[in-house]
């Protein structure tokens, strides 16, 4: 059995737009991924609301929300792993952090480096770096993400460049899903289904290639 770790933020956790509730497991994209990949694969969900890439959030939980802080113990806890699917960066778009799109991509690249050097799996190529989708109409979140919509549209090229440099796999979520107009950040259930299907197709190809 192959083991896949999905490491992300509230869209991996399954946050329902305009609500503090969570989609059922089978509606969240990692659950869709699990169903499509079947019993020969084990998909581990590691989503956390407000998770950043490499920094503490002084307003939302401090070090608890730091994706780098938890990444090492997470990898060790679930090892051995065959693939890590990494989708972070949306929360780095918050105005209080002041990151550029390049900065955010560089932060994600730092996480990829940690994964590749951890010895969690067969080789360093077993990482799928996903650029998050663009922010939509933010309404109540407009001040929190001031300037973030424009930056979100600049993320994918930087992610792609770092993925090529690091020799890992890449996917642009913005080519597949759209954020809900209810809050501009989270996804409707049908978008989780679309994304789970797209990731399943790519993950299946990656793991088949590695088994040859």
Helix (H, G, I), strand (E, B) or coil at 6: strand
Predicted structure pTM score: 0.96
Q: Which residues contact 69 (CB under 8 A, 6 or more apart)?
A: 56, 63
Tell me the percentage of the chain whose pLDDT exceeds 90. Answer: 87
Please name each of the domains of the chain with its CATH number. Answer: 2-211 (3.40.50.1110)
Structure token digits, residue 165: 């440099």
Q: What is the mean pLDDT of residues 83-98?
A: 97
pLDDT at 155: 98
Task: Tell me the pLDDT tens digit for each residue of 173-205.
Answer: 999 999 999 999 999 999 999 999 999 999 999
At residue 212, does pLDDT exceed 60?
Answer: no
Tell me the percentage of the chain whose pLDDT exceeds 70. Answer: 96
What angle in degrees, to the nearest 10, is found between the helix axes of 101-116 and 155-166? Answer: 30
Longest C-alpha distance within the chain, in Å? 50
Supply the mean pLDDT for the chain. 94
Sign of CA dihedral 164, 165, 168, 173: negative
Higher pLDDT, 210 or 162: 162
pLDDT at 48: 97
At residue 3, does pLDDT exceed 80?
Answer: yes
DSSP classification of residue 180: -
The CA-atom distances, in angstroms, between 65 and each of 52, 181, 207 are 6, 25, 30
pLDDT at 60: 84
Strand-strand pairing, 2-8 and 127-131: unpaired
- Give which of 4, 66, 17 is closest to 177, Cα–Cα: 17
At residue 138, does pLDDT exceed 90?
Answer: no
Q: What is the mean pLDDT of residues 38-42?
A: 96
């Amino acid at each position: 059995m192959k083991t896949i770790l999905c490491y992300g933020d509230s869209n991996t956790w399954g946050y329902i737009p305009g609500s503090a509730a969570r989609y059922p497991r089978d509606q969240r994209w990692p659950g869709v991924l699990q169903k499509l990949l079947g019993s020969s694969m084990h998909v581990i969900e590691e989503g956390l609301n407000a998770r950043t890439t490499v920094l503490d959030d002084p307003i939302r939980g401090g070090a608890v929300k730091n994706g780098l802080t938890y990444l090492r113990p997470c990898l060790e806890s679930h090892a051995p792993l065959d693939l890590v699917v990494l989708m972070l960066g949306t929360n780095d778009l918050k105005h209080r952090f002041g990151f550029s799109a390049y900065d955010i991509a560089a932060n994600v690249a730092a996480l990829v480096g940690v994964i590749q050097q951890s010895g969690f799996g067969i080789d360093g190529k077993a990482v799928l770096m996903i650029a998050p989708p663009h922010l939509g109409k933010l309404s109540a979140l407009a001040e929190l993400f001031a300037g973030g919509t424009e930056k979100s549209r600049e993320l994918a090229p930087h992610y792609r460049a770092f993925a090529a440099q690091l020799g890992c796999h890449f996917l642009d979520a913005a080519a597949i899903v759209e954020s809900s107009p209810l809050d501009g950040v989270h996804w409707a259930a049908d978008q989780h289904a679309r994304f789970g299907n797209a990731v399943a197709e790519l993950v299946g190809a990656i793991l088949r290639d590695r088994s040859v």
